[in-house]
Structure formats: structure tokens, C-alpha cells
Amino acid sequence: MSVSDCSDCPGLSHGEKVFSLDELLKMGIVDNEVGDWLKENPMPAEDPLMLLEFLDQNAANGGTQITSTAFQFATMDSVYLARKHMQISHTWAFYYASGIYVDGNFLNYPGQVVPLPRARTVLTKLIHSYSQTKYTVDNEYEFFSY
């Protein structure tokens, strides 16, 4: 599998790669349902698509739901805002690798201080539109990291 030729891809960060939809499908980054949606709904440059892989079936919300695990946001600021709101409304879905305690009111333990899980519960990938037929994948962004 080859990454698309980027000799004509200005504006990419160091190490960032551009993929065609076919490449994203072959790599398993998106499934057929998301692929079909992308074919019918070309992504504007500022509309990131967030893909979630639920490791313990927790649910997420925000943005426009495309499939049960894909959500499109108007801007990255919208992604950050959804994350901030979910840290309050769905604290139980977040993790903190080195350990952190949060107000138990967030986790239905009023008056207690409760540790967040240390292991990831949901894997996250962000797909950004590079052009009408090319995409970049951000594997580093951790939506559910507190």
C-alpha cells in the first residue's frame, strides 16, 4: 500500500501524510459505511471527522453523528468544546494515564473523590480533509484523555 504522492501537497506538518479514500478503506481507518458517507458528503477543509473505537462500549456525543462511531464537527474548536462538555457530563468515559481523582459528583458518587481509569476506554482518530479527494489522519489526538 502506498501513501499518495505528496510532491504537490503544500502546507503539511512534518511527518503528516495524505491518503485517498481508497487508502483509508484499505488500511481500515474507515469502514464502508463511513466511506460511503464521505463519497456522498465531501468534507470542507475545516470540518474534522472524529472516529471513535469504543473499547468498553461507552458512548460519546457531539457534532453530527455519521455512524455509531463517527462524528463530524464544524471546526477543531467544536471538537475541543465537545470534549470540555463531555468531561463534565460523561467524566466516567475519560482516563488519565498517571492517575487523577475527580469530584465524585461527576461519577454519581456525591461527596466523594473518585479516581479516573488509567487505561484508555475509547480510541480516537481525527480525519481532516486535505482536498476533495485527499485526507490526513491525526492518530495523536486523544479526545478522552483528561
Cβ neighbours for 138, distance < 8 A, ≥ 6 positions apart? 48, 125, 126, 127, 128
pLDDT at residue 134, as a whole number: 86
Considering only residues 95 and 4, tell me which one the structure prediction assigns the higher pLDDT: 95
Summarised one tens digit per residue, pLDDT across range 87-144 is: 877 777 788 888 777 776 666 666 777 778 888 877 888 888 888 888 888 888 888 8
> Of 75, 102, 72, 74, nearest to 90 (Cα)?
102
Summarised one tens digit per residue, pLDDT across range 9-68 is: 566 666 678 888 999 999 888 888 889 988 998 887 777 887 776 554 434 456 777 777
* Extents of the domains making up the chain: 19-138
Contact between 51 and 66 (Cβ < 8 Å): no
pLDDT at residue 22, as a whole number: 92
pLDDT at residue 53, as a whole number: 66
User: CA 34, 21, 24, 129 torsion: positive or negative?
Assistant: negative
The owner of cell 505528496 is: 6
- Rounded to two decimals, what is the model's pTM? 0.61
> Of 116, 145, 138, 121, nearest to 53 (Cα)?
121
pLDDT at residue 109, as a whole number: 65
